[in-house]
Amino acid sequence: MRDKEGVLLAGLAEHGVSRRTFMKFCTTLASLMALPAASGVAMAEALATARRPSVIWLHFQECTGCTESITRSHSPTIEGLIFDLISLDYQETLMAAAGHQAEEALHKAMKDNEGKYLLIVEGSIAQGLNGAYSTVAGRSNLDTLKEVAKGAAAIVAVGSCASYGGIPKANPNPTSAASVSDIIKDKPIVNIPGCPPIPVVMTGVMAHFLTFGSLPELDKLGRPKAFYGETIHDRCYRRAFYDQGKFAKTFDDEGARNGWCLFELGCKGPVTYNACATTKWNGGTSWPVESGHGCLGCSEPDFWDAGSFYKALSMPANPLKVASGVAAVGAAVGVAVSLANRAKKGAAKAAHETTTLPDLEK
Amino acid sequence: MSELQFLTWVRGPGLDLAIGIFLMGVLWRLFEIYSLGRKKDLAEPRSVAGASGMSTVFRRSIPPAGMLKNSPVTYVAGYVFHVGLAIIVFFFAPHIKFFQSLLGVSWPGFPSQLIDFVAVLTIIAMLVLLFDRITKPVKRYLSTFQDWFTWALTFLPVLTGWMAVQHLLLPYTTMLALHILTVELLLIFLPFTKLFHAFTVFGSRWYSGAVNGHKGVAV
Amino acid sequence: MSASLEKGVRVLKEVIDAPIASYFNSCVHCGLCAEACLFYTETGDPKYTPIHKLEPMRRLYEQEYTALGRLKKLVGLSKAVTDAELAEWQELVYNSCTLCGRCSVVCPVGNDIVYMIRKFREGMSASGNAPEGIKGAANRTIKIGSPMGVKLPAVRAQMRHVEEDFGLPIPMDAEGAEYLVMLSSMEIMNFPEYLGAIAKIMHQAGKTWTLCSTAFEATNAGMQIGNSDLARVIVSRIVEGAEKLKVKTVISPECGHAYTALRWEGANLMGRPFGFKVRHIIEVLGEFQEQGLLKTEGFETDRLTFHDPCQLARRGGVIKQQRNLMNMVAKNFVEMPDAGFMNWCCGGGGGASAIEEGEELRMEAFKKKKSQFDTVKPDRVVTACANCRIVMEEGLEHYKMNLPVVGLTEMIADHLPNPVVTKPEGN
């Protein structure tokens, strides 16, 4: 139990995390984000004495996988402890309250911290039927988002659904799902895509916010460059096999067992920006390619519609539909032209006027 | 439209349409050209081994006596380009996967470093050919807009493909999408330009060989 | 006076076939055909590029026989072929092309360009755009019987001279003879030794032969002008004569295009296969040599080289025979560079030598032939085409080169022992 104004270090000490370990964590985090060495110290100082900002976490059309990923705490991880650093005033999965009490907590947090709270959104926003496809406490997600966003200092769209629309947006998009940035245009938004995203990415962004009071440098799609600046392909430990053309052809052939590149089995590594190849998952245990399965491209927009996960990038994304029809048109045109040609040639032959000597003169 | 969405489009509807137009064009043009037929040759034939349509299809790939010395650039750069392109298209593993998805058959590929080397040679050969077309009087005289256009149509897929694998200039996703897009453009225009020689060269060589083979002349 | 663009276009539509369509669609503008054509190599003027000589026909093909071409013409993106354009192309299609066929054998995509030029000439002649010189030759061939205006009495006169000089009878209209011997005007007028040579050779080989009073001329100006209708008239005289005399084989003389006209185009012009064989005199000599019927004596000792007439070698497939014959009577036979299949044209075939206004161009093109001679430095040049002989003599004179040109058949006959024949009237 900590009071609202409590500082992190005391709390950490309570959990048996020494100051040295904490420093090491901060420098690691800083270097992961390619910040200068001094930032690690700055981060430590800032975090140690930070006031705990209010954080409101909204859940819309989502599977809760992002929450699961980010709160996955082994024993305990420092990621989890960061959550002690913030005042998580509303989080449907984690909070103890339910029903009216939960809604009251939301409105109180909004009122008390107006203009200053961090809004985290998980899940896409249904726009169809005026938003009626997804409601909480009798209000559409669409309305809720617009209202809560008004008083937020910044918004973090966590997961591919909030960042781009995700699986609800996949063909045929029955609920007209949209991303946070499709709807909110007047607030700074950082997208942390992934299905789900990597925990340390979340932590890094929050640490940056708390240390520097701003969001880290973002790419064109609003993703922190520190974690989404390189493709999986460019950091993949199997890259040498790609460069040589050594590919696994099936999931249990010799190539697969030798750890060869998974391009032919559909790996989307070359077109996917994320940090999986460097930070890996589950505290550095492994990640999809290392386990022998190609990258799905889950941190990219519309990856669900980018063709089969098991079709290589050089293969057609979908089966060809119009090709044979169009080809048949060609055969028909060809036959028609042939008939016209032969008729013309025949007519010319039939109209042949035998040339005699005078006919050589104009 | 994001990078990946663009890539998904060229891999999806774009490819579907391009392959359709390509097949349409090939069928149409083959009919259009060969339906004109040929009159039977009533002269007494002279049969000589090696003088036939089929043998000319192969033999014409060899420069006739004196011509290689006379026009080395056209022959050498021409061959490096054609052979290089064939190697890249048919023996680079990702391309083999593409053919497999269309035809159901696949075959072993070459190591990617070899393909990379061949791609560089092919690009150089194509630039040499472009330079030659600009500087040699006969080629410049004969060249029309179509000659420059088809050069670009053929060059861009090789260049963008190589740049994609090398991670040059643009991010991979965009480079790959451009590569696939330029391939689609090549497919669409191939049957309707001089690039159709990819198909008619067999017919032309065969006719030449047959007409002359009737006379016992091995051309 | 009834030639017209319309007629020319109609004729072109008639003759354009699948090979031509395939060829036009295969051309990639590589320019290699120019490098094979002596009119380009010796002038450096790219307009003489062989495939360029066909440009109006290509456009016509595209506009008439392709869907997109028809569309282009409809919307004005492709202009119709005009009479002025065809007139402009006369120089390219006739003066600067001897139908030598070198371009056809080098084209990497397999285009038979000479085949197309031959067909283009059909349209050119029907539209009135054939050159005056060849029109004159065609006129004379059809009206008089030979392009140089040689008539039967002149032929009979030559026959008498040869009979006296050689002591051998020259048969005419002998029914049932094995061989019908054709002559070309050039031989009758300029190289009468040829007839004597034939007589000597046939005598030694023990073969029966004859001339034909209604068909002594082999030269086919209709072929050169490129008009099948006229070519047919000329060929049919020979066919009638051969069938009337019931010969087994018709021998085409030392003339290039006569051979092509009779041997390869004749049956197609007549619309039916021949009942007799057609052979070039060199082919016949080659057969005689193989069969051991030519018993020669002595050798030429000076340095000799051989010029392969285009229509005989590259276009006709007779390449080895002349070499075997040369080796039979020459000790010092050397080959020119590119001899045989890839030999360079003399520059005067296909009717070109009859075109007065093309003479300057021919002389420039002759530099190629001159360079072949300069490399080999022969004492004499041997060949098997009377037109090549005249053209080369003219070219050599122009460049002030003293190099005699002789015919192969005569050379062979010179090495046969003189015949011992009892004259019909006794000595």
Query: pLDDT (tens digit, 9 = 90+) per residue, C372-408?
Result: 999 999 999 999 999 999 999 999 999 999 999 999 9
CA distance A340 to chain C (A): 8
Using a CB–CB cutoff of 8 Å, tell me whether C11 touches chain A.
Answer: yes
CA Rg, chain B, in Å? 20
Residue-level pLDDT at A75: 41
Instruction: For residue A214, give the DSSP letter.
Output: S
Query: pLDDT (tens digit, 9 = 90+) per residue, A292-327?
Result: 999 999 999 999 998 899 999 999 988 888 888 888
Instruction: Name the nearest CA neighbour of A223 among A269, A296, A164.
Output: A164
Number of domain units in chain A: 2
Q: Show residues of chain A in contact with B93, CB under 8 Å.
A: 245, 247, 263-264
Residue-level pLDDT at A314: 93
Give the pLDDT band (50/70/90) at residue A2. very low
Query: pLDDT (tens digit, 9 = 90+) per residue, B141-171?
Result: 999 999 999 999 999 999 999 999 998 999 8
- Pair A213, A257 in one domain: no
How many Å apart are CA A302 and CA B3, to the nearest integer? 10
Find, in chain B, the residue whose alpha carbon is nearest to that of C13: B36
Query: pLDDT (tens digit, 9 = 90+) per residue, B27-70?
Result: 999 999 999 999 999 999 999 999 999 999 999 999 998 899 99
CB contact under 8 Å between B31 and A331, yes or no, is: yes
CB contact under 8 Å between B219 and C109, yes or no, is: no
Residue A319 lies in a domain: no
Strands of the C304-307 sheet, one edge to the other: C304-307, C380-383, C405-407
- Pair A255, A185 in one domain: no
In degrees rounded to 5, what are phi and psi of residue A191? -95, 130
Mean pLDDT of A147-168: 94
Residue A356 lies in a domain: no
How many Å apart are CA C242 and CA C210, to the nearest integer? 10
User: Is the pLDDT at C357 greater than 80, yes or no?
Assistant: yes
What SS3 state is found at A238?
coil
- Which C residues in the span 373-402 are in contact with B, Cβ-Cβ below 8 Å? none
Q: Show residues of chain C in contact with B143, CB under 8 Å.
A: 29
How many Å apart are CA B80 and CA B82, to the nearest integer? 6
Mean pLDDT of A247-251: 95
Classified by CATH at the fold level, domain B3-42+65-198 comes out as: Fumarate Reductase Cytochrome B subunit (1.20.950)
Instruction: Name the nearest CA neighbour of A233 among A188, A198, A279, A278.
Output: A278
Secondary element (H or E) of residue A87: strand A87-91
CB contact under 8 Å between C13 and A362, yes or no, is: no
Q: Show residues of chain B in contact with C264, CB under 8 Å.
A: 43, 214-215
Encoded amino acid at A139, one letter: R
Residue-level pLDDT at A31: 80
Mean pLDDT of A261-274: 96
Residue-level pLDDT at A146: 96
Instruction: Name the nearest CA neighbour of A11 among A57, A49, A39.
Output: A49
CA distance C126 to chain A (A): 6
| The domain boundary residue, chosen from A201, A228, A255 | A228
The residues, ordered by sequence, that sit 6+ positions from C405 with a Cβ below 8 Å of its Cβ are C307, C380, C381, C382, C383, C388, C389, C392, C393, C396
CB contact under 8 Å between C26 and B200, yes or no, is: yes
- Which B residues in the span 188-207 are in contact with A, Cβ-Cβ below 8 Å? none
Name which of A335, A337, A355, A362 to mutate to probe chain C: the one with the most chain C Cβ atoms within 10 A of its Cβ: A355
CA distance B86 to chain C (A): 17
Residue A351 lies in a domain: no
User: Is the pLDDT at A7 greater than 70, yes or no?
Assistant: no
User: Is the pLDDT at A89 greater than 90, yes or no?
Assistant: no
Residue-level pLDDT at B101: 92
How many Å apart are CA A94 and CA A97, to the nearest integer? 9
Encoded amino acid at C424, one letter: P
Give the pLDDT band (50/70/90) at residue A5. very low
CB contact under 8 Å between C10 and A348, yes or no, is: yes
Residue A323 lies in a domain: no
Residue A255 lies in a domain: yes
Residue A181 lies in a domain: yes
CA distance C139 to chain B (A): 26
Instruction: Name the nearest CA neighbour of C345 among C415, C395, C408, C274.
Output: C395
Give the pLDDT band (50/70/90) at residue A87. confident
User: Is the pLDDT at C205 greater than 60, yes or no?
Assistant: yes
Q: What is the domain-level CATH number for residue A257?
A: 4.10.480.10
Strands of the A117-122 sheet, one edge to the other: A87-91, A54-59, A117-122, A152-158, A189-192
Secondary element (H or E) of residue C159: helix C152-166
User: Is the pLDDT at B1 greater than 90, yes or no?
Assistant: no
| The domain boundary residue, chosen from A228, A247, A278 | A228
Instruction: For residue C301, give the DSSP letter.
Output: -
Find the angle CA(A8)-CA(A12)-CA(A16) to the nearest 5 degrees.
170
Find, in chain C, the residue whose alpha carbon is nearest to that of A340: C65
Name which of C22, C227, C232 to mutate to probe chain A: the one with the most chain A Cβ atoms within 10 A of its Cβ: C227
CB contact under 8 Å between C125 and A362, yes or no, is: no
Residue-level pLDDT at A3: 44
ipTM of this predicted structure: 0.96
Q: What is the domain-level CATH number for residue A173?
A: 3.40.50.700
User: Is the pLDDT at B102 greater than 70, yes or no?
Assistant: yes
Buried b (16+ CB within 10 A) or exposed e, C182-217: bbbbbbbbebbbbbbbbbbbbbbbeeebbbbeebbb
Give, to the nearest 10 degrees, the angle between helix C281-290 and helix C320-329: 60
CA distance A244 to chain B (A): 5
User: Is the pLDDT at A213 greater than 80, yes or no?
Assistant: no
| The domain boundary residue, chosen from A305, A332, A351 | A305
User: Is the pLDDT at C279 greater than 70, yes or no?
Assistant: yes
Residue A38 lies in a domain: yes
User: Is the pLDDT at C190 greater than 90, yes or no?
Assistant: no
Query: Could you write out the DSSP letters of every residue in C334-374?
Result: -PPTT-GGGPPP-S-TTTGGG-GGGHHHHHHHHHHHHHHHH
Residue-level pLDDT at A74: 46
Q: Show residues of chain A in contact with C130, CB under 8 Å.
A: 360
How many Å apart are CA A33 and CA C92, to the nearest integer? 74
Residue-level pLDDT at A179: 96
Between B51, B65, B212, which is nearest C338 by CB? B65
- Pair A189, A270 in one domain: no
Mean pLDDT of A28-56: 79
Name which of B10, B17, B30, B31 to mutate to probe chain A: the one with the most chain A Cβ atoms within 10 A of its Cβ: B31
Q: Show residues of chain A in contact with B30, CB under 8 Å.
A: 334
Residue-level pLDDT at A96: 82
How many Å apart are CA C167 and CA A44, to the nearest integer? 127
User: Is the pLDDT at A95 greater than 90, yes or no?
Assistant: no
CB C116 within 8 A of CB C57: yes
Place of tokens 């295969």: C26
- Pair A65, A140 in one domain: yes
- Which A residues in the span 302-361 are in contact with C, Cβ-Cβ below 8 Å? 333, 337, 341, 344-345, 348-349, 351-361
In degrees rounded to 5, what are phi and psi of residue C192? -65, -15
CB A331 within 8 A of CB B27: yes
User: Is the pLDDT at C309 greater than 90, yes or no?
Assistant: yes
The neighbour count for residue C399, using CB atoms within 10 Å, is 14
Give the pLDDT band (50/70/90) at residue C334. very high
Give the pLDDT band (50/70/90) at residue B17. very high
- Please report the beta strands in chain B, taking only residues with DSSP state E, as ranges in sequence order: none
User: Of A258-272, A340-354, B75-89, which gets the smallest average pLDDT?
Assistant: A340-354
Give the pLDDT band (50/70/90) at residue C277. very high
User: Is the pLDDT at C361 greater than 90, yes or no?
Assistant: yes
User: Is the pLDDT at C427 greater than 60, yes or no?
Assistant: no
Would you mind telling me the total number of residues written for chain C in this entry? 427
Neighbours of chain A (3+ CB pairs under 8 A): B, C
CB contact under 8 Å between A358 and C1, yes or no, is: yes
What percent of chain C stands above pLDDT 90?
83
Query: pLDDT (tens digit, 9 = 90+) per residue, C86-139?
Result: 999 999 999 999 999 999 999 999 999 999 999 999 999 999 999 999 999 898
Name which of A249, A315, A322, A342 to mutate to probe chain B: the one with the most chain B Cβ atoms within 10 A of its Cβ: A315
What chain C holds in terms of domains, given with CATH numbers, is: 3-129 (1.10.1060), 134-290 (3.40.50), 304-414 (3.40.50)
User: Is the pLDDT at A200 greater than 90, yes or no?
Assistant: no
Count Cβ atoms within 10 A of the Cβ of residue C427 and give its class: 0-12 exposed, 13-18 middle, 19 or more buried.
exposed
- Pair A113, A196 in one domain: yes
Q: Domain locations in chain B?
A: 3-42+65-198
Query: pLDDT (tens digit, 9 = 90+) per residue, B163-193?
Result: 999 989 998 999 999 999 999 999 999 999 9
Give the pLDDT band (50/70/90) at residue A4. very low
How many Å apart are CA C76 and CA C402, to the nearest integer? 57
Domain with A273 in it = 232-305
How many Å apart are CA B89 and CA C117, to the nearest integer? 37
The residues, ordered by sequence, that sit 6+ positions from C20 with a Cβ below 8 Å of its Cβ are B36, C57, C61, C115, C116, C119
Residue A315 lies in a domain: no
Residue-level pLDDT at A40: 81
Q: Show residues of chain B in contact with A231, CB under 8 Å.
A: 171-172
